[in-house]
Structure 1
Amino acid sequence: MRFARLLLYRAGLVSYQSRIIIPIMDRRSSQQRTPSEPPRRSPRFLATQVSVVTNDSEDEQNENPLLQKKPKKRSRSVKTTTTNTAEKKPRTTTKKKKETRDLDNTETTCLPRTREDSLKEYSFVMGIDEAGRGPLCGPVVTAAAIIPTNIAGITDSKQITKEEQREELFERILQSPNLRWAVAVIDAVRIDEINILQATLEGMRICAQAVLQGQVEDYPTQPEASIQHKGCYIVCGATDAAGKFTTLKPVTEKAYALIDGNRLPKSMPCEAEAIVKGDSREFSIAAASILAKVTRDRLMHAYDALYPEYDLKQNKGYPTAFHMKAVRDHGATIIHRRTFAPLKHMEMDENGKIKVQSKD
């Protein structure tokens, strides 16, 4: 009977003033409730429920999910756009070429002259730096430069990873107008005598003296490197206003030296100032670092031809695994620093052959 009434109600032929909820598991428990009473939760059974809801209350319809009308599915409107496939260009994945630094752009690649520009009362301001303090063999090289002209690409030589780029900058520095420069080479024997710090400071003082006085007393001037000479030698030069090589004449005006590091050499020929990390902050110090670095690299290439067993062209004298194996097999040469570890822990004969190696 109730099922028939439900069908008539859904067909819109009958209406009721009350809601009747009849669980299938217990039909006797059905009760009539007035619309003012709150709806009771029907007991949860395994079977479904049959509900009758009047049209007078839409809220009661919403409460019973069995009597809710399913909304009609809206057909999605697909936008059809006519595109000319012939005009579409295929996507091409092209790798961006790595931009190379333009050496002619001085505004973006040239270090500033912050400290140098503040020293207006001095006629000449030179930068001084070194290369080769850490390697196991080879000399330590110091350089000083008074370079009035800005050159693109001048920065700390350690930040210039390509050797050919350092070589190019080296040549451009030597061809710049009104240049004064000097390079001092302190060999391994001298380093072992006075230690690497004192050898470096000594080389810096000699360079400053050569740049300002035009000559160096007590030390010979040679045009190229020679491993037969013990101690130190210096190479210096200058250019005129056209950038051509000329004689390095003494300076009578006031001069000032900017030195990379935190220590100053003794007996400097002019006033000086130490700047920590100056090779990455001041233009003149960076230029001196390039002169020192390229000079030492060229020396190591020459030493590699004399001692090919040690691969000095590649390791530049640093104690790589290949280099240390060569030392154990062939011994140490005259350009090796005997006071540097691990050589200082090895006992050698007069020819550099290792006799006994300590466990250290």
Structure 2
Amino acid sequence: MSEQLTTIQASNHPIYFNEKGYEALNEHLRNNKYSNLFIIVDSNTNESCLPKLLPILETDLTIEIIEFENGEINKNIETCVEIWNVLTELGADRKSLVINLGGGVVTDLGGFVASTFKRGIDFINIPTTLLAMVDASVGGKNGVDLGNLKNQIGVFNLPVMVLVNTEFLETLPQNEMRSGLAEMLKHGLIFDKNYWEKFLDLKELDYADFDTLIHRSVAIKNEIVTIDPTEKNIRKSLNFGHTLGHAIESYFLESAQKTTLLHGEAIAVGMILESYIAYKKSLLTNAEYVEIKEAIKAIFDDIAFDTNDIDPILELLIHDKKNEYGSIQFALIDGIGNIKINQLVENELILEAFTDYQS
């Protein structure tokens, strides 16, 4: 493990790293009179992560495990209803505590379940995937998908604390690690050119440096959401790559003949497409665009689109929750490390971006 990482103070809760998080969690359990403790897991984290967490909990509280089947396809209101019913049957009350142990699906859904049960009970996020560590568990967004439309139903509500423990990454498959890397690349592209440049030669990256990189990514996201917690302004910069990326992810999720993409795989495509748009709008130089495209393509496999795919993807943009007054708003990078929000983009340019991505 690398050096001791400092705790990051978010708007009204701390984000702890590694061992420090477990100490803080046990202290929190000692200092608060909770009635019982519920740990929400999916079928993956129940098997691979729960056995790491249970032995460190120092509490006399009754601990109940609530498991649901893993996968974005289960991040819906039906799963919430099942969990609300289980909480009710097991005697959860307003003094219960929920711990969400899992990737973004678990922290998004578990946070939403806790935020709405009896008008809101305390919850703690323990992200177990790289994606959840650097993105989903930070910033207070909780919610579920509506059909294939991502994150349409949800609330802004903050956890009591977030515990980032990189030992959970040891259980993570390579494609899931890459998926999280997409959000880290995004943080560099929108906010910190030096940070972006650390990823240009991944072979040079030491695994020991990885904790420090995760810490920096969380710090960048936290800085942005602290300034703008409910996405009225600068927080929209975090949507870079996501306007097209979410539409692609939704389309591949609902399309029977397509293999479902991981979030980061879709966002990687979205970042290339939206960088091309930024280049065509003279926000990026050609050299910067090529650098971004080559760096991302060196990490992520190409995704094939045929002519019949593009129209339904554009159709899905209409439902994007970032839209205002019926127009599609993009966050586009304005030179590496800077961003311009609320950018309108015409369909022709989007189609051109897809053509260039495939070239």
TM-score higher than 0.5 here? no
More helix by share: 2
TM-score of the pair, normalised by structure 1: 0.22
Higher relative CO (Cα under 8 Å, sequence separation at least 6) belongs to: 1
TM-score of the pair, normalised by structure 2: 0.22
